[in-house]
Amino acid sequence: MKHTKLLGSIALATLLATSFTGCDSDDSIDTSAIEAEAAKATADAEEATEKAKEDIEAATNLVSDAETKTATAESALAEAEAKIAQFEADIIPFAGGSFSPYERVAVFPTVKKDDGTLDYEATYAKVAELANTFAKHVANVDEPTIQPDKFKGTNWILAGYETDETATDENVKHHMLGIPTIYPVNPTLPMSPANTKKVKVVEICNAGYASKALGVVNVGGEEGTKVANGTYHSTALPCEVTIYNDEKGIYVDILNPETIFTLFFTEVFSSPEMENTAFKSEMLTLPTQVKEEIYTMIYNAFDSTEENYTKTDIKVGTLFTSMSQALATADTANGGKEPYRHYTYISDNTKEFTSTDAKHIAERIIAVMTNDEDANVGVQESALKALLPSDIAGVTPSWRSGRLEPLKVPGGSYIVEACSPTYAKEALSTGEYHTAALPCEISVMVNPDNNKSIDISLLNPEFMFGALFADSMASMSDTDKTDFNTIIGNINGDLKTIVDYAMEYNVTGFDGTNEKITPIQY
SS3 121: helix
User: What is the distance between the alpha carbons of residues 146 and 310, in angstroms, rounded to a whole number?
Assistant: 24
User: What is the distance between the alpha carbons of residues 192 and 506, in angstroms, rounded to a whole number?
Assistant: 35
User: What is the distance between the alpha carbons of residues 483 and 473, in angstroms, rounded to a whole number?
Assistant: 11
Which H or E run includes 356?
A: helix 355-369
DSSP string, 380-404: --HHHHTT----BTTBPPP-EES-S
Q: Beta partners for 401?
A: 418
Determine the pLDDT at residue 373: 54
Burial of 83 from C-beta contacts in 10 A (0-12 / 13-18 / 19+): exposed
Helices and strands in the chain: count of H runs, count of E runs: 15, 14
Determine the pLDDT at residue 82: 56
Before 238, cis peptide (omega within 30)?
A: yes
CB contact at 8 A, 458 and 495: yes
Backbone angles phi, psi at 353, to 5 degrees: -80, 150
CB contact at 8 A, 158 and 204: yes
User: What is the distance between the alpha carbons of residues 20 and 104, in angstroms, rounded to a whole number?
Assistant: 119
Which H or E run includes 32?
A: helix 32-90
Q: What is the largest CA-CA distance in the chain?
A: 170
> Would you put residue 22 in left (φ > 0), alpha (ψ -120 to 50) or beta?
left
**Cα 467 to chain center, whole Å?**
9
CB contact at 8 A, 169 and 133: no
Tell me the pTM.
0.83
- First CA to last CA across the chain, in angstroms? 128
- Tens-of-pLDDT digits for all 522 residues of the chain? 444 444 444 444 444 444 444 444 455 566 777 777 777 778 877 888 888 887 887 878 787 777 778 777 777 776 665 555 556 678 887 778 889 999 999 999 999 999 999 999 999 999 999 999 999 999 999 999 999 999 998 999 999 998 889 999 888 888 889 999 999 999 999 999 999 999 999 999 999 999 999 999 999 999 999 999 999 999 999 999 999 999 999 999 999 999 999 999 999 988 999 999 999 999 999 999 999 999 999 999 999 988 899 999 999 999 999 988 888 888 887 788 899 999 999 999 889 999 999 999 999 999 999 865 555 556 788 899 889 988 876 778 889 998 888 999 999 999 999 999 999 999 999 999 999 999 899 999 999 999 999 999 999 999 999 899 988 888 888 888 888 888 899 999 999 999 999 999 888 888 889 999 999 988
Q: Beta partners for 395?
A: 392
Pure H helices in 98-236: 120-140, 143-146, 169-172, 207-213
| Closest to 237 in 3D by CA, of 266, 273, 264 | 264
| Closest to 137 in 3D by CA, of 157, 108, 153, 123 | 157
For 55-69, give one letter per residue: b (16+ CB within 10 A) or e: eeeeeeeeeeeeeee
Determine the pLDDT at residue 19: 46
Determine the pLDDT at residue 223: 97
SS3 235: helix
Cα 125 to Cα 111, 121, 131, 214, 243, distances in angstroms: 10, 6, 10, 37, 11
SS3 118: strand
3-state per-residue secondary structure call for 430-458 = CCHHHHHHCCEEEEEEECCCCCCEEEEEE
Determine the pLDDT at residue 48: 80
User: What is the distance between the alpha carbons of residues 312 and 36, in angstroms, rounded to a whole number?
Assistant: 101
